[in-house]
Amino acid sequence: MTEVRTSIVSERLGVVRRGVCFSRNSLAIRFLAHTHSATYNPAVGVLAVKPFHHRGHRGHGGHSGHTGRQILESKENILPVGTAFHERTFALCQSLNYREWSGYYTVSVYEVHHEHEYNAIRNAAALIDITPLYKYLVTGKDATKLVNRVITRDINKVAVGQVIYCCWCDEEGKVVDDGTISRLEQNVYRWTAADPSLRWFRQNGLNMDVQIEDISEKVAALALQGPTSGKLLKSVAEADIANLKYFRVTHGKIAGVPVDISRTGYTGDLGYEIWAPWNDAVKVWDALMDKGKQFDIHAAGMLALDVARVEAGLLLIDVDYISSKKALIPSQKHSPYELGFGRMVHLGKENFIGKAALVQDQNKGVPRQLVGLEVDWIEVENLYDKFGLTPAAPSQASRVPVPVYVGDKQVGKATTTSFSPLLKKMIAMGSIATEHSQPGTKLQMELTIEAVRLKTAATVAKLPFFNPPRKTAVPV
């Protein structure tokens, strides 16, 4: 019990550290500036802080090789906000357009517009810093038992070297989070999550022979995505990339650095994710960018990624659904069967968290479904024309929920909306009442012009919108 309490405190401190200094304009930095002598060096991504009574020693603001969110003992506390790749991404970020992701500076867009970055994802190769993902290493005799107790999928069907996408639920069968699990050895798993999950995993591992380590600050991660990513990786990695199957992981070296390479991603395209030791991660970045010139590589930020993941029909927590741990009312909680996760619920396996509730969901059905929506752009143009205006296709994905109707009755909402440059369509992901969720169903989506609320036609579409054969083709 002491270990669990310690882990709870440690994780809460970790969350605090992640959230303390996430923005150049954050309250934390302003507060520290008033109460401490502080220097901030954005090129390094570090805020060096020292109480005023230590005026004899000023902080240099350097990274000193320390990882993500460490708070150092000594007279000077360092509150970093850069990932292992910050010194490289900052040099490339002409826009200085950043956002917060789990306490790290994350580039929204490198140039003024994300057009080149999106095109790299779909037509060449894009390199994306995904280090802020929470990452856990699960080991021990009961590692498999713990994983199977938490997730809805049957981990016993997963071979060593295989990666799975999965979700996990609370006791009521409502989704807590989703992520990937790589089976590195028989009883060794690397588990990624969007939200901090150490406490949840350890609580459910009580009385088991299992060790759960938060390796978020030890392992850096890159997503190499796009049609030429395979050829680039083959030329730079000492690993069998050509025969690496979809959702499999292999081991190798890049620039002499030992790495894990998984054929996974968040773009719905051919792509890989590279997991490297934090302290040597920059060497991997440099090797990929240097060799990648002949493959038209571009560093890509979150704005381009957001458009790509909508085309791929991939969910984003806190946008397309809310974790049951954060939900304030019952309607904010979702069953896996409401999120298109039904194929990932294996009710035939041994007991797992939420199983009884999910059996009921399967038998009785659920009230809503995650669907794709295609907006009638011709009708949008006609509505704007009545105001003497011309609509501009939005360049960024909108995460603002928009009501969806059948006649005057609201039957759901669009959760993320984007114009797809590839498909030349306005598309959306939405949560729609089950009786109106079949592909081809005609609905109406709210549209506001000059502060006037209108409705435009939208048709239910099957997800994903974009699913190229190259994503899973072997050999590469």
At 81 the pLDDT is 80
**Do residues 411 and 367 make contact, with C-beta atoms less than 8 angstroms apart?**
no
Residue with tokens 């639920």: 169
Read off the pLDDT of each residue in 96-101 and give the average, rounded to a whole number. Answer: 93
DSSP state of 469: G
**Residue 71 confidence (pLDDT) above 80:** no
CA distance 47 to 324: 34
Contacts of 53 (CB under 8 A, 6+ apart): none
pLDDT band, residue 74 (cuts 50/70/90) = very low
Read off the pLDDT of each residue in 136-154 and give the average, rounded to a whole number. Answer: 98
At 176 the pLDDT is 98
Question: Could you write out the DSSP letters of every residue in 199-251?
Answer: HHHHHTTTTSS-EEEE-TTTEEEEEEESTTHHHHHHHHEES--TTPPTTBEEE
Residue with tokens 């826009």: 95
| 419: helix, strand or coil | strand
- Top pLDDT among 286 and 62 is at 286
Read off the pLDDT of each residue in 319-338 and give the average, rounded to a whole number. Answer: 98
| pTM, full prediction | 0.85
| Number of Cβ atoms within 10 Å of the Cβ of 57 | 11
At 76 the pLDDT is 52
Question: Could you write out the DSSP letters of every residue in 44-67?
Answer: TTEEEEEEGGGTTS------TT--
CA distance 273 to 343: 24
- Yes or no: is domain 367-461 CATH 2.30.30.60? no
**Domain positions in the chain:** 2-82, 114-133+217-300, 134-215+335-363, 367-461
Burial 226-257 (b: 16+ CB within 10 A, else e): bbbbbbbbeebbebebeebbebbbbebbbbeb
At 333 the pLDDT is 98
Same topology, domains 134-215+335-363 and 367-461? Answer is no
Burial class for 170, CB neighbours closer than 10 Å (0-12, 13-18, 19+): middle
Q: Which among 262, 340, 268 has a CA at the least distance from the CA of 304?
A: 268
CA distance 187 to 127: 31
CA distance 68 to 470: 35
- Top pLDDT among 58 and 250 is at 250
Question: Could you tell me whether strands 175-185 and 188-193 are parallel, antiparallel, or unpaired per DSSP bridges?
Answer: antiparallel
Residue type, 428: A
Give domain 134-215+335-363's CATH number out of 3.40.640.10, 3.30.70.1400, 2.170.150.70, 1.20.120.80. 3.30.70.1400
The size of the chain, in residues, is 476
CA distance 444 to 442: 7
Tokens of 133: 């993902």
**Do residues 34 and 46 make contact, with C-beta atoms less than 8 angstroms apart?**
no
Cis check for the bond before 469: say yes or no (omega within 30 of 0): no
- Percentage above 70 pLDDT, the chain: 83
At 77 the pLDDT is 54
- The mean pLDDT value of the chain amounts to 88
pLDDT tens-digit map of 280-309: 999 999 999 999 999 999 999 999 999 999
Tokens of 440: 């081809």
Read off the pLDDT of each residue in 385-404 and give the average, rounded to a whole number. Answer: 97
CA distance 476 to 470: 8
- Percentage above 90 pLDDT, the chain: 83
CA 374 to chain centre: 24
pLDDT tens-digit map of 231-286: 999 999 999 999 999 999 999 999 999 999 999 999 999 999 999 999 999 999 99
Residue type, 175: V
Q: Which among 382, 225, 389, 191 has a CA at the least distance from the CA of 307?
A: 225
DSSP state of 435: G
- Top pLDDT among 79 and 392 is at 392
pLDDT tens-digit map of 437-453: 999 999 999 999 999 99
Counting DSSP H helices and E strands in the chain, the numbers are: 11, 23
pLDDT band, residue 8 (cuts 50/70/90) = very low
Give domain 114-133+217-300's CATH number out of 3.30.1360.120, 3.90.550.10, 3.30.420.40, 3.30.465.10. 3.30.1360.120
Burial 144-168 (b: 16+ CB within 10 A, else e): bbbbbbbbbbbbeebeebbbbebbb
**Residue 390 confidence (pLDDT) above 60:** yes
At 178 the pLDDT is 98
